[in-house]
Every structure is written in C-alpha cells, then in structure tokens.
Structure 1
C-alpha cells in the first residue's frame, strides 16, 4: 500500500514539474527559441561545410610488380664500413667479390665518426655500413636516395614504379641489403643463399576503393560539434541548477 502511494506521488510530482516547465517555456518564448535555434544553426553550418568539403575518393589500385632486382643500380658505388674487424672484413669481402663483383668499391673506417666526416666530401653514390654486432648492421644512405620515413602515409592511387614507396627497391637499398644478409648467412652457416635472394620479386600491393576526410578537417569537426552543442548544455545546466 505504501509503495503504491509512493509511486502515485512520484508520478504526480513529475507531471507537475513537466507542466511547470511547459508554462515557463510558454512565458519565456525568446529564451526557448534560442535553446532550439542555436544548436540547429550550428548544425546547419556543419552540414554545409561537410558538403563543401566532401570525402576524398581513392580509386581501386591494382597490384604493381616491380622490375627484377638489378645489381647494375649499384654501379660505381663506394661502400664504406665500420668497425673494421676480421668478421666485418670477411663479410664485405664476400659482398664485393662474390655477390657484387666489379660493381662496388669498399672502404674501411676506424669508427662511425670518421666515416661520417669522410662522407661529407664524397659524391652521392657513397653508402655507409655500420655494424652493430656480428648479425646486425645499419645502412647509411644520403637522404635524397631513400624515403625519409619507412611509414608510407600517402595514397597509392597515383603510385607507380617510381613513387616513394618503391624507392627502397629502385635506389639499390634492397640489393645491397640482400647481398650483406647473404654474406652474413654464408659466414654463419657456410651455405650461400645469394641466388635465392637475388631472384626475389617485389610487388606494390593494391588496395580497394575508399573514401577519406582530410586530417585537419576531421579534427575541426570535433571542435565544431563541441561549439555547436555548448548552448544546449548551457541552458540545460541552468535549468538543472534552478531545480
């Protein structure tokens, strides 16, 4: 019985508050219209801006098979390496004599600082190899020969065999890396895999058609939504505080 009376009281109180708010809205028509029109006004401009800046369409891209690995790309390449040890000398000897004969010229440097200083006076066909240990190394190319970043962010729609995504292949980076890897494997296991690595093929993977907004526009939409609904939140907060 007490529960039924309580439910009737809650419903009566809710109905009374709704009626009270309705009467207030009728008496304060200007404020009520502002509460409705402000969000609608900003929403209208958001829709208009979206129509003026439609999503960019990227067409479907087929797979593109690159040219076979070509050693002649490294013709007259000056290959400097550091540090100079029995192991690194043996690796570079195999690279220059067995894998890339009559293609590269090797130079020894005591340390990385000396190699860097020497590279400043070298032509653009100079490449440095810095061995970290027996199994790992770093290739140092001039910045204009390979992409600045290994993460390719642009669309592949206009990508061909000469685009940035294929520069690692066309600049000779991959050929040189494969020859050094083959020399390390042969030195470690006494098995030559250069023929297998030399016959490696590369394909720029295609992609499906998709739509994408610009990065800046997507961030502006989030900010605009906050501005658009801030009047509604303002009026709602006022009513809650009053109640």
Structure 2
C-alpha cells in the first residue's frame, strides 16, 4: 500500500516556501462509454467475494484514453518545432500526399522529468516504447515498481521523491506526472520547480536507501501474472 498528500495554495506569499508551481492539469474521463466503464470494475463473484474484473477491452480503452490525454497535453507543453512537425505530418496524411505513419512527438524535449503511473512492467515498457522516452527518464518509474510495487495513483509521487532524492530536480525544471485508472480516466499534471530540491529532506521515503539505486536488473519486478489478447 502507498499513499501521498500534497498541499496546494493560491496565496502569493506562499511562493517563497513552495517547491513547485502548478502549470497545467489535463483530465480525460471516458466513463460515458459502457465499454470503458466496464473494462475494469469492482463486483462480487458467484461466492460473494468482492474483486475486480478486467475485460479484454481494457488495453484498447486504456490506449485510446491515454492517447486522447496526450493529444490534449501536447499543444500545451511541446516546443513550436515539435508542433510544426505534428501539423505537417497531419496535413500530409489528410491530403494523402504520402503514405506515412503518424508522427510521435519528442515529449522529452518538452519536459525535464517524466513520471508515468506505475501499473506494472508491461505498462512501463509500452509507455517507453510508444512515447520514445529514454531509459534514464523511466528510471524513477522502474525503481518505484521494483521497491514498492504498484502503488496506484500515488506512485507518481514516489517517482518524484526518487528524483528529488537523486538531487535531479533543479530550479526551473518542468515535471510531467501522468496517471490513469478505472473509468477509464487519465490525468496529466505539469509542474515547474520553484527551487533546487535538497536530496536530504527528512520526509523523503527514498532518503535512507537512495544510494543503492538504480538496481542493475529489475526486469522481473512487477510483471502481470497473465496476459490476454486485447479486443479490437
């Protein structure tokens, strides 16, 4: 189990003691679709045991919802050069000028730190492959999964704490947290570091062990117990 609490303030004089400034929030919820709502749901089985049911629609629904969130997030954070490449690619495909694949923006040019929801190793593998982010940018996610397992939505804060404990958060850095879950829903938050964060902060859950990370081979951490073919 994991948990996290964050104190937000809109009082101007709190700026002096704040660690981060909230820049953007983007939220998608597709629960109006029965397919999305029922892809992962809590219910009782025939023996009245409460559990979660995941359907074959889960992977497709999750992919579509996350893609919609990225589409909304991109224009807010991507540099002009990346947005122009996206526009050019879109126009070429719309007017059938050439048979090309959709352009995947280089989100690593837009933010300094990327912390996706830790839902298991296959999930992180897909995020790294599809968004083409570096192994270094995925380090905090993989080490959080290795040490704590799937912490649900709070995992993005454990990842941020990892980067802080590694003394990687510098003043002016932009941080992107993205989390998703049943509904299906997906949320992105963009922060700007107001100061360089001290790696020795007492409340950091990584403080006493951070020098032991990253581990060399976390490949076996957090795998799903089974796989299933996604629906179309």
In the superposition, the TM-score normalised over structure 2's length comes to 0.26
More helix by share: 1
Which protein is bigger by CA-based radius of gyration? 1
Bigger proportion of residues as strand: 2
Query: TM (normalized to structure 1)?
Result: 0.25
